[in-house]
Every structure is written in C-alpha cells, then in structure tokens.
C-alpha cells in the first residue's frame, strides 16, 4: 500500500506476510477506513501493540494521507474497503488533544517508547493541512460520528451536514 514493499514504521522489507495495522489503535477508535491502515512487518506490529504512535510517525502518516489520498481512495474502492480521510484525521486530532502532557507513552519505533508532548503531534497533523471534521463522541459508547468537513459543509445546501459512522 504505497509503501514500496517496506514496513511503514521501520522501512525494512515487508517480507511475504505483511500485516495491516490500525495506525491509531483500534482500542482508541473504531476507524477501519483505509486511511487508518498501514502495512507493517510482524516485529513492528507486535512491538507497537495498542500504543499510540509518536510525533515523527504521525507526521509521516499525515503526509501519506495528504499526498496519496487519491490513491488510497482508489485502493479502498477496488477492494471495497471503507475510505474516510476526514474521520482518520479528526479522530487523531481529538485523541492527541485530550492526552495529558507527558503522561501517555507514545510508540516511537521498535523498543522505543517516549512521553513526547502531544502538542508536537497536533502540530504535525496541522502541518499536513487536512480539513478537520467535527467530532462527536457519544458518551458511554465507542461510536465516533464525524459530521461533514468544512469543505463539504460549504458545498452542501442549507448547511446540512451529512452524518456518518
Ligand atoms: Zn517494521
């Protein structure tokens, strides 16, 4: 998936059995869209587990989704997978903006966990320049509903946002 046969995390060769990893871990969000998936080798995938990725990885992920959004959408369509770049970016923004500063371990690579300031991650996301969806988390549920992005909102008539999720 746009990775030239290399692991998204360590850039080593993926080998014969790459694994699809939820970049923002599934326990943190329910976004199955292709934009939240990366291919990783087993070592990285096992080491990352349910940890949130750290700033450099988030920057690389945001850039991938920004620069290869069209290709990702094509791949998703061809494999009948869900595509939702706004949800992926909005969920990431929401999660990192609610992390206590220096209080959450972030995965930086194999064997490397740090407690970087989540603000660094938010800056990386902002730099990628995606329009951000508005996010509503229903209390007591894992459902995330993303209402239309600003861009879509502008195009819609009567300002009615489409509900998804
Ligand atoms: Zn790897």
Cβ atoms of residues 165 and 97 within 8 Å = no
Q: What is the pLDDT of residues 61-73, one digit of tens each?
A: 999 998 999 999 9
pLDDT at 16: 83
State residue 126's pLDDT score: 86
The beta strands (E) that lie in 10-158 are given as 19-22, 37-40, 52-53, 106-109, 112-114, 134-137, 144-147
Q: Measured in angstroms, how far is the CA atom of residue 52 from the centroid of ligand 1? A: 16
Distance from residue 45's CA to the centre of ligand 1 (Å): 7
pTM: 0.75
| pLDDT, averaged across the chain | 80
pLDDT bracket for residue 51 (50, 70, 90)? very high
Angle at 47 between CA 121 and CA 56, to 5 degrees: 20
Output the CA 7–ligand 1 centroid distance in Å: 5
What DSSP string runs through 111-122? TEEE---HHHHH
Rg (CA), the chain: 16
pLDDT for position 132: 45
- Where in the chain are the domains? 19-132
Is residue 83 over pLDDT 60?
yes
CA distances from 131 to 82, 88, 134 (A): 19, 11, 10
pLDDT, residue 129, reads: 62
Contact 23/1 with Cβ under 8 angstroms? no
Range name among 1-5, 44-48, 77-81, 120-124 with the lowest pLDDT average: 1-5
């Amino acid at each position: 998936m746009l990775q030239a046969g290399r692991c998204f995390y360590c850039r080593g060769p993926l080998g014969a059995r790459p694994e699809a990893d939820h970049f923002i871990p599934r326990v943190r969000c329910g976004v199955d869209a292709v934009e939240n998936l990366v291919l990783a080798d087993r070592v990285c995938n096992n080491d990352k587990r349910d940890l949130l990725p750290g700033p450099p990885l988030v920057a690389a992920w945001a850039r991938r989704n920004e620069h290869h959004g069209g290709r990702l959408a094509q791949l998703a369509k061809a494999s009948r997978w869900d595509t939702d770049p706004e949800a992926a970016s909005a969920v990431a923004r929401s999660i990192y903006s609610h992390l206590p500063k220096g209080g959450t371990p972030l995965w930086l690579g194999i064997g490397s966990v740090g407690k970087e300031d989540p603000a660094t991650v938010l800056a990386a996301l902002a730099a990628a320049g995606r329009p951000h969806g508005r996010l509503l988390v229903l209390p007591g549920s894992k459902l995330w509903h993303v209402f239309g992005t600003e861009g879509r909102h502008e195009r819609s008539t009567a300002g009615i946002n489409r509900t998804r999720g």
